[in-house]
Each structure stands twice: as C-alpha cells, then as structure tokens.
Amino acid sequence: MMWLSLRRFDYPLAPKALFDDRRVFFSFAVGIVFGVVASALTVLVSTSGLGVILPLLAVALFEESFKLVYLNRPGYRGRFDTTFYGVTLGVGSSAALAMASAFAFTPNPQVATPGFNPALSVALLVAFSASMATTLASTGALIGFGAAHEQVLRYFLRAFLVRASHLVILVFFFVGEDAGLAAASLAGSLVFAGIVYAYVYREVLPETLPTDLRKSLRRWPGEAKKAKKPAKGSG
C-alpha cells in the first residue's frame, strides 16, 4: 500500500523523491506502535458491555485524533509532504489493528463456528486487512492534507466520518451471527474503502503538491524519454 500510494512521487516517475524516506518509514513505525495501543483499546471496548456501535465510534475518534496530533506538529504543519506521511502512518496502524479487530469481535472461531475452515478464515482476514489498510491510508492522507494546507478541522472531520462509516459498515462482519450478512458487510467495506482510496489517490495526493511541482511532475515522463533518446546522426 505504501509503494502503490507513493511511487508516483519518487524517481523514476518523478524527477526526484518528493518526500523524506526517513520520515516515511518513521511514520510507518509509529503507526505500528500506535496500532498496538489502539488494538488494546479495541479489545477493551468490545468487552465493555456498551454494544457495538458506540465503542466503534469511540475507537474511530481515538485513532483519527492521534493522527491529527502527530501530523499537526510544528515540524509537519504546513509542509506539502505531510500528506504522504499521513498515508504511511495509517498503513502502519492498520497492520496491528486488522488482527486485533478480527480477534476482538470474533474470538475463538474454531469453537464458535462449526465446520471451521482455515483457508476461508485466512481469505476473509486478507480481505479485511485490505479493507482496513486502504481506509486507514486514506484517512491518514486526509488528515495529513489538512495539516499541510492549514485546513485541519475540515479534513479531520472528513477522515473521522470515513473511518466511522467504514466501521459501521463492518458491524455485521464483527458480530458474525449470520454468515451471509457478515460476507455482505465485508464486501461493502471493501467497495467503500476502494471508492475513498480512489478519490485520495487521484485527487488528494497530487493536490498536496505546490502548483510548480504538479506541473513539473506532469512534464517529467516526457522529458525523461526525450533525454534518453540519442541525438540524430550520433554514432
């Protein structure tokens, strides 16, 4: 997901890397650590007796608030590349959160589900992980964009609504009382996550660049091809 999201902004698809590799991987590592903390909260609220919807909204608010605090620090605020670090922060947290969410809401599937199928469970977990990764990458990018362009509250609210909506769509998957509803819930979350990520990939990530960099990026592939062509009449 990191490679897919950022490859257009790195050489050879760009004249040079438009982000700091160290910040990219540090944000990814911070995301993983935060994912462990958020995972513990997910497990805690899932056993709080408050139902399903309210704990999910609380988790969504906690996750996106952390991203806001991290990406709106003085060293990141007002920098166009903060949007890219929001992507990697989200992808890192999704690595831990996907497993924690699955096991928090469907404990001991071997016991709870007669005829437990390991292959099917792995396939469901992969699909669920993909849904989480694309969603959290998108919300990280939205919050990073807001911090980069000083529209923090506007894009934080968008990110929270995306994350909360994604979790609400997944309610039947978490509950798992009906296999058909659970499958439909997971499929719906994948469609929703894909639509949001497509918007972020096509609109938000390129839009974070200053105008001159955007123009340079559009010209670059053609300029690179021309530079590689030998001059006419050369040996």
Residue-wise pLDDT tens digits, 123-172: 888 898 999 999 999 999 999 999 999 999 999 999 999 999 999 998 88
* Residue pair 155/145 in contact by the 8 Å Cβ criterion: yes
- Nearest-angstrom CA–CA distance, 122 and 108: 14
Please tell me which residue, 118 or 162, carries the higher pLDDT value. 162
Please tell me which residue, 222 or 123, carries the higher pLDDT value. 123
- Nearest-angstrom CA–CA distance, 52 and 150: 34
| Contacts of residue 87, Cβ cutoff 8 Å, sequence gap at least 6 | 1, 2, 5, 6, 137, 140, 141, 144, 205
Question: Would the pLDDT of 31 be above 60?
Answer: yes
Residue-wise pLDDT tens digits, 195-220: 999 999 999 999 999 998 888 888 88
Q: Where are the alpha helices (DSSP H) in the chain?
A: 2-6, 21-46, 53-71, 82-105, 109-112, 118-148, 152-169, 171-175, 179-199, 205-207, 211-228
What is the torsional sign of CA 102, 104, 109, 112? negative
Mean pLDDT of the chain: 84
Residue-wise pLDDT tens digits, 47-106: 665 666 787 788 889 999 999 999 999 999 999 999 999 999 999 999 888 777 666 555
**pLDDT attached to residue 173:** 83
**pLDDT attached to residue 76:** 95
Segments making up each domain of the chain, as ranges: 2-107+117-210
Alpha-carbon separation of residue 105 from 121, 160, 177, 180, 235 (angstroms)? 14, 21, 11, 17, 68
3-state secondary structure of 1: coil
* Residue pair 155/203 in contact by the 8 Å Cβ criterion: no
